[in-house]
Amino acid sequence: MSRPLHLAVALDGAGWHPAAWRDPAAQPTDLFTARYWLDLVREAESGLLDFVTIEDSLALQSSRFDGPDERTDQVRGRLDAVLVASRVAPLTRHIGLVPTATVTHTEPFHIAKAIATLDYVSTGRAGWRVQVSGRSSEAGHFGRRTIPVFRPADVDLPEVRDVFRELFDEAEDFVEVVRRLWDSWEDDAEIRDVATGRFIDRDKLHYIDFVGERFSVKGPSITPRPPQGQPLVTALAHADIPYRFAAHNADVVYVTPRDENDAEAIVGRLPVFHVFADLVVFLAETRAAARDARARLDDLDGTPFTSDATVFAGTPAELADLLLRWQSAGLTGFRLRPARLPTDLSAITGGLVPELQARGAFRRAYEAPTLRGLLGLPRPANRYVEAPVA
């Protein structure tokens, strides 16, 4: 029997292939409706998945890294991921909800309040995918800083590494402020005693008094401490600088290995409890059918699909084989990116999950009421509460 693993899915528009909206089963007219997202999350929950992530950004999707493109044959436009998660939260029961929220160009006080609110409306199932923006086009929406235009091939240039190091240092401060704000109310700060007229114990609210190079935040938050204490913080990492950031700040790190050896090397660099590998998946009853589906979308898009993550095209049983091989490298879970929605998501819940269950590698029921509980993570103590003297 294999060690049980954790599974998440990453939801993005009509799927991760840019031509997915043209798949026969796609629902392009529904992309900007609450029902569309609710149906996807409920499908993921029917498969007992740990959580879903919801993609977001501060600029339109583009086939170019340096700014908007002129294409009209791919999905453009998004709903706000945090608001989508908050909309579907009361209509789901068990699955974790992890929207993407960008730290660059935004304020930690706002993000802390938004994710804390999501934790309340989901009764303890909230997380946050921290995203750093290094794109000049996104900076142009705010006008508060200038980020130079560069190409992906330039990432190892010293001047580009300096820019990214600064952005991730800022992100580290951002996450620290958010975590302090979540702790700025003690768990029993709310008294709510009608007889005495005391709603709150003001001594149990704390100024965080964070002063750094980029932020100066007094606190406390205006939202009481979230049900999980600290909602899940997650981050995607591909290289040295984001690896360092994720190791210091994230509860779950998403990585993009190419094989088991690569996965083992990456896990060795990340002293965190949960490391999930990302995979883009095309699933069908036969390997040939899955590869044909990918080829059809490539033809529609006019170019072969590539990704930062490994792309898998095959059957649910073959994917189960791969996941269990890679798990032996030290990975605790996987974040699967369905290439087509809802087709590949349904294949995950209806094909991959039963296959893993039959091998004793995946749960048969939800075991905990919170996202931290599902992942075996304890509820953290509040940093502002003094430990009792023995």
Bridge partners of 130? 101, 235
52 close to 96: Cβ distance less than 8 angstroms: yes
DSSP structure class, residue 368? -
Residue 73 phi/psi, 5-degree rounding, is: -105, 15
C-alpha 368/C-alpha 209 separation (Å) is: 35
281 close to 312: Cβ distance less than 8 angstroms: yes
Q: Please tell me the predicted confidence (pLDDT) of residue 1.
A: 45
For residue 212, tell me if it sits in a domain. no
C-alpha 279/C-alpha 290 separation (Å) is: 15
For residue 217, tell me if it sits in a domain. no
Q: Could you tell me where the beta strands, DSSP code E, fall in the chain?
A: 6-11, 51-54, 96-102, 127-131, 190-193, 198-200, 210-211, 216-217, 232-236, 252-255, 274-283, 310-314, 333-338
Q: Please tell me the predicted confidence (pLDDT) of residue 387.
A: 72
- Asked if omega into 220 is within 30° of 0 (cis), the reply is yes
CA 323 → CA 114, 281, 319, 361, distances in Å?
34, 12, 6, 10
For residue 381, tell me if it sits in a domain. no
Q: Which amino acid is at 56?
A: D
For residue 140, tell me if it sits in a domain. yes
121 burial class (0-12, 13-18, 19+ CB within 10 angstroms)? middle
| DSSP three-state, residue 170 | helix
For residue 186, tell me if it sits in a domain. no
Structurally, the chain folds into a number of domains equal to: 1
**H helices present in 185-302, as ranges:** 240-249, 260-267, 287-301
DSSP structure class, residue 348? I
Q: Please tell me the predicted confidence (pLDDT) of residue 67.
A: 87
Considering the entire predicted model, what is its pTM? 0.97
226 close to 245: Cβ distance less than 8 angstroms: no
For residue 174, tell me if it sits in a domain. no
Residue 362, domain extent: 6-148+229-374
- Nearest residue to 100 via CA among 209, 222, 254, 240: 254
Q: Please tell me the predicted confidence (pLDDT) of residue 152.
A: 79
For residue 340, tell me if it sits in a domain. yes
Segments of the chain with pLDDT less than 50: 1
The number of residues in the chain equals: 390
- For residue 55, the domain's CATH number is 3.20.20.30
**Strands 6-11, 252-255: parallel, antiparallel or unpaired by DSSP?**
unpaired
Any idea of the CA torsion for 99, 42, 15, 127, to the nearest 10 degrees?
20
C-alpha 42/C-alpha 52 separation (Å) is: 10
298 burial class (0-12, 13-18, 19+ CB within 10 angstroms)? middle
For residue 364, tell me if it sits in a domain. yes
Q: Please tell me the predicted confidence (pLDDT) of residue 4.
A: 87
